[in-house]
Structure 1
Amino acid sequence: MIHQLKEKGMSWWIKEYVLKRAIPIPKLLYAFDIVLCRELRDKRPKTLLFFLKVALSRQLSRRDKLPAYNTVDDAVNLLRNSKRIIILTGAGISVSCGIPDFRSENGLYAMLKQRGEYDLDDPQQIQIYPSNFTPSPCHHFIKFIEDRGQLLRNYTQNIDTLETLAGVKNVLQCHGSFASASCIECRTRVPGKDIEDDILRQRIPLCKVCQANAAQARAAVAAAKKQEQSKKKRRKSGNPWDGDHSEDEDEKGIPKVGVMKPDITFFGEKLDDRFDRCLEMDREKVDLLIVIGTSLKVAPVADMILHIPHSVPQILINKTPVKHINPDIVLLGNADDVVVHLCERLGWELPRAKTRPEATREGLRKRPSVETGKPPPQPPRRVGNSHVWLFEGAEGGNWLETLEIDSREPSVFGDSPLSQADEDEEQVDSHNDRGAKRARVI
């Protein structure tokens, strides 16, 4: 039952065991070591189904790592041979474009927290408006995979539309984008460029259709009022207007002028139904999941990884560890550096991308496209005998140090012999300064 749940998903499982086989929910819960007291067993089916979904979600969150995949070589082979790849992306793939991420050590939240300019409890309380940015190597990497016919779909949490600018066709912008905006009153939709000037000048963008309708209604009211007044005798005071008339009456029947809201999903709002439909279709086809540049903290997109069949290999490419998931290969570092390394190993040549400003604690500084005197990038380094590899820019602190120590124990990851390339890399590392090596890990 647990195997079927992890492979076929919660919806299939509930249909099979609750509807088709008609097994009582308390009995199903008992199979997951959950015993309901008599009072709860007598609850309505809707309440019992909620308890069951909680239990199933807990099981889905316990993914077992696939022991066959551990190394960068394994990641390269998966990229070369997979036919239907889902790529889930977040803010980390746009950092090099000049758009800071939220939660990393140098992310936007850390920058604002240090400055003390805003009283923020959570990075979700700020929005970024995309300006004149160009796609990063990560965006071109996704496009390259699509051009090779290997991309099943790119699910992006970003609203900057850089995937589209890079030419990616099969992309689902889970949280919407600034590509368009809609009136909250009449639902008129316009291109995002139509409201850009108002937003950048910190003006509230108002719906032009609503404004025209309101102006037309006011003109009609004024004409009717004038016609009515012309039929009345002027008062002795010479005032042509009725004394009991108020400005509130003028607004009766006048439609409200709506605000143009960018077509993005704000925090607390429900995602478009297309997200659920696409995930339901794609989970039956996917043969590789790659997560790039996201800490997977914002539901429901963060939860989609739980609903992919657990037998599908997973690769995480991120600056920091994501500790609540269990991917098969973890490549920590600057996302651009990681994908460029993988492409070099695969013999893939990405389009040249212009380097844009990069976020720092001091603000946004321009980084030259060619940095003279910069040493060539160091090869990735394996953390102990684990499935975690470190590239330039990797963060992880004590978690990495603990993992390196623990992964040296054979019982933790089982027998995972090193490939020839790994053995050569280990020999090279043995000649390096051990103290400097540990300092980099910490």
Structure 2
Amino acid sequence: MTIRFTLDGTVLEGEHTFGEDVAEHLSKVVNALHRSKRCVVVTGAGISVSGGIPDFRSANGLYNLVKDRYPSAVLKGKDLFDASLFRDPITTSVFYTFMAELKQVVSKACPTRTHEFVKSLDKDNKLLRCYTQNIDCLEERLEMCCDMTKKQDLRIVQLHGDLNNVICNMCRTLYPFDDVKRDSFREGTPPSCENCENLQVVRELAGKRAVAVGTLRPNVVLYNEHHTQGDQIAEVAAFDVKKRPDMLIVMGTSLKVVGIKRLVKELGKSVHSAAKPGTVLFINNADVGSHSEWDSVFDYHILGKTDDVVERLED
């Protein structure tokens, strides 16, 4: 049974409220964190809101700004993260413009207190891995390794890609997401891939037939789309599950995506099945899903802003 409580001194159990002091429960969580040597963290959009990046499930101001430029587009905010948008040229243009505006917002954002908390776990040699649904790359600004090819140093697994790079839709070459590409996207038009163009020239000089030239898009993974690093991510996750982490902290996510739900449940089961069962903590502003789905996964759910909660955990 998950113990749900807020920092203001209220313990919640389902819809019933008990006038208990949270100090004892909070103390148990803090002690578990201090003892932890193999902590896994899973993060969502909620941890970046205070850094200046909107949570798209609760705020759609940026979407509306883009939608005004394409009044004929029949597209909901959540559809901007679904691969089906590429079936229509108008929604495709909306996507590119939206990503350009999002890149602008992210470039001005800052790592939050919660990002600093994850970094501190790493500094204290407590962090086994952090899996993030975010594409803002704020962890990289804290010099945390996100490179999947560096398995010994890898700390941040970007489940949905990143906004630091763009990728060719044909040859898969990566390029930095610089201002030139951002400005092209803002007009709703993706630039051509330089690598494909160079190959085209070489083929023409060799008298070979012309082939298609790819276009660039942000290096993000949309819903209903194959993740090019999916196999590598699965290998890392399987490794972490086998390492028997002694603590799992899930923060700032609504847990609506099937893949992330599966990952959290697998990691939670691993934490609880160790010789000395560890602690699984959920930190989020709101409840998610049915209690019956998560009661066997989470030991504690602290309702509140992640920045406020991690500050209390480090007091």
- TM-score w.r.t. the length of structure 1 is 0.50
Q: How many residues align?
A: 247
Q: Which residue of 1 aligns with 2:185?
A: 199
Percent identity of equivalent pairs: 32
CA distance in 1, matches of 2:61, 2:115: 23
Q: Which residue of 2 aligns with 1:330?
A: 301
Aligned-pair distance for 1:159? Answer: 0.7
Matched, 1:302 2:261: yes
**Helix, strand or coil at the partner of 1:283:** helix
Q: Which residue of 1 aligns with 2:103?
A: 130
**Helix, strand or coil at the partner of 1:92:** helix
CA distance in 2, matches of 1:78, 1:143: 18
**Helix, strand or coil at the partner of 1:281:** helix
Matched, 1:276 2:276: no
CA deviation vs aligned residue, 1:124-163 (integer Å, no higher than 9, x gap): 4356533312211111111111000000100000111111
Q: 1:313 aligns with which of 255, 279, 283?
A: 279
| 8 A contact 1:288–1:314 mirrored in 2 | yes
**Helix, strand or coil at the partner of 1:316:** strand
| 8 A contact 2:3–2:301 mirrored in 1 | no
CA distance in 2, matches of 1:136, 1:286: 25
Write out aligned runs for 1:242-391 (5 A): 253-271=209-227, 272-284=230-242, 285-310=244-269, 311=272, 312-324=278-290, 325-326=294-295, 327-343=298-314, 345=315
Aligned-pair distance for 1:262? Answer: 2.4
Amino acid at match of 2:219: D
Q: Which residue of 2 aligns with 1:80?
A: 34
| 8 A contact 2:166–2:175 mirrored in 1 | yes
Q: Which residue of 1 aligns with 2:92?
A: none
CA deviation vs aligned residue, 1:177-204 (integer Å, no higher than 9, x gap): 1222222222222223373332244331
**Helix, strand or coil at the partner of 2:48:** helix
CA distance in 2, matches of 1:161, 1:92: 14
CA distance in 2, matches of 1:202, 1:148: 45
Q: Which residue of 2 aligns with 1:161?
A: 137
Amino acid at match of 2:103: P
Q: 1:184 aligns with which of 156, 169, 193?
A: 169
| 8 A contact 2:103–2:182 mirrored in 1 | no
Which segment is superposed worse, 75-84 or 207-216?
207-216
Larger Rg: 1
CA distance in 2, matches of 1:66, 1:96: 26
**Structure 1 residues 179 and 122 mapped into 2: Cα distance closer, same or farther (>3 Å)?**
closer
Q: 1:139 aligns with which of 91, 115, 137?
A: 115
| 8 A contact 2:60–2:77 mirrored in 1 | no
Amino acid at match of 2:190: I
**Helix, strand or coil at the partner of 2:262:** helix
CA distance in 1, matches of 2:61, 2:42: 22
Aligned-pair distance for 1:94? Answer: 0.8
**Helix, strand or coil at the partner of 1:269:** coil
CA distance in 2, matches of 1:205, 1:332: 44
**Structure 1 residues 305 and 319 mapped into 2: Cα distance closer, same or farther (>3 Å)?**
same
**Helix, strand or coil at the partner of 1:282:** helix
Aligned-pair distance for 1:270? Answer: 2.8
CA distance in 2, matches of 1:124, 1:142: 30
| 8 A contact 1:182–1:260 mirrored in 2 | yes
CA distance in 2, matches of 1:124, 1:173: 21
**Helix, strand or coil at the partner of 1:317:** strand
CA deviation vs aligned residue, 1:238-275 (integer Å, no higher than 9, x gap): xxxxxxxxxxxxxx921211011322211111331122
CA distance in 2, matches of 1:91, 1:321: 15
CA deviation vs aligned residue, 1:176-232 (integer Å, no higher than 9, x gap): 1122222222222222337333224433121012223334555776xxxxxxxxxxx
Aligned-pair distance for 1:291? Answer: 0.6
**Helix, strand or coil at the partner of 1:291:** strand
Q: Which residue of 2 aligns with 1:151?
A: 127
CA distance in 2, matches of 1:277, 1:259: 30
**Structure 1 residues 124 and 166 mapped into 2: Cα distance closer, same or farther (>3 Å)?**
farther
**Structure 1 residues 135 and 286 mapped into 2: Cα distance closer, same or farther (>3 Å)?**
same
Higher RCO, 1 or 2 (CA under 8 Å, sep at least 6)? 2
CA distance in 2, matches of 1:200, 1:136: 27
CA distance in 2, matches of 1:159, 1:79: 27
